[in-house]
Structure 1
Amino acid sequence: MGPRVHRQWRRAAVAQGELRGVVAMDGPSGTGKSTVARGLASALGAGYLDTGAMYRAVTLAVLRAGTDPADGAAVLRVAEGVDLGIGTDPADRAVTLGGEDVSAEIRGPQVTAAVSAVSAVAGVRDLLVARQRLVISETRARSGGIVVEGRDIGTVVAPDAPLKVYLTASADARAARRSAQDAREGRTSTVDATRADVERRDTFDSTRAVSPLRPAVDAIEVDTTDLGVEAVLERLLAVVRERGLGAAVPGAAGA
Structure 2
Amino acid sequence: MQTDSKRADESFRGVIAVDGPSGSGKSTVSKRLAGALGAGYLDTGAMYRAATWAVLRSGAALTDPAAVTAAVHAAELTITTDPTAVAVRVDGQPVDAEIRGETVTAAVSAVSAVPAVRAELIAAQRRIIDAARDTTGIVVEGRDIGAVVAPDADLKVFLTADATERARRRSTENATALAATQADLHRRDQADSKVTKPLEAAADAVTVDTTHDPIDAVVDRLLVLLAERDGARVETS
- Pairwise CA distance, 1:110: 0.8
Alpha-carbon distance between aligned partners in 1 of 2:40 and 2:67, rounded to the nearest angstrom: 33
Q: Does 1:64 align with 2:57?
A: yes
Q: Tell me, what secondary structure is at the counterpart of 1:96? A: strand
Tell me the residue number matched to 2:11: 18
User: How high is the TM-score relative to the length of structure 2?
Assistant: 0.94
Q: Does 1:212 align with 2:197?
A: yes
Q: Tell me, what secondary structure is at the counterpart of 1:207? A: coil
CA contact (8 A) 2:41 2:139 kept: yes
Alpha-carbon distance between aligned partners in 2 of 1:142 and 1:49, rounded to the nearest angstrom: 15
1:182 to 1:162, Cα distance in 2 relative to 1, 3 A: same
Q: Does 1:249 align with 2:236?
A: yes
Q: Tell me, what secondary structure is at the counterpart of 2:197? A: coil
Per-residue Cα deviation, 1:46-78 (whole angstroms, up to 9, x for no partner): 111000000000001111112222321211111
Alpha-carbon distance between aligned partners in 2 of 1:49 and 1:178, rounded to the nearest angstrom: 21
Tell me the residue number matched to 2:179: 192
Structure 1 unaligned regions, length at least 5: 184-188, 251-255
Q: Tell me, what secondary structure is at the counterpart of 1:227? A: coil
User: How high is the TM-score relative to the length of structure 1?
Assistant: 0.88
Q: Does 1:46 align with 2:42?
A: no
CA contact (8 A) 1:205 1:212 kept: yes
Tell me the residue number matched to 1:156: 148
Tell me the residue number matched to 2:216: 230
Tell me the residue number matched to 1:85: 78
Q: Does 1:9 align with 2:5?
A: yes
Paired amino acid for 1:10: K
Q: Tell me, what secondary structure is at the counterpart of 2:4? A: coil
Structure 2 unaligned regions, length at least 5: none
Alpha-carbon distance between aligned partners in 2 of 1:45 and 1:131, rounded to the nearest angstrom: 22
Q: Tell me, what secondary structure is at the counterpart of 1:198? A: helix
- Provide runs of 4+ in structure 1 moved above 6 Å: none
CA contact (8 A) 1:237 1:248 kept: no
1:150 to 1:9, Cα distance in 2 relative to 1, 3 A: same
- Pairwise CA distance, 1:248: 4.2
Alpha-carbon distance between aligned partners in 1 of 2:234 and 2:190, rounded to the nearest angstrom: 37
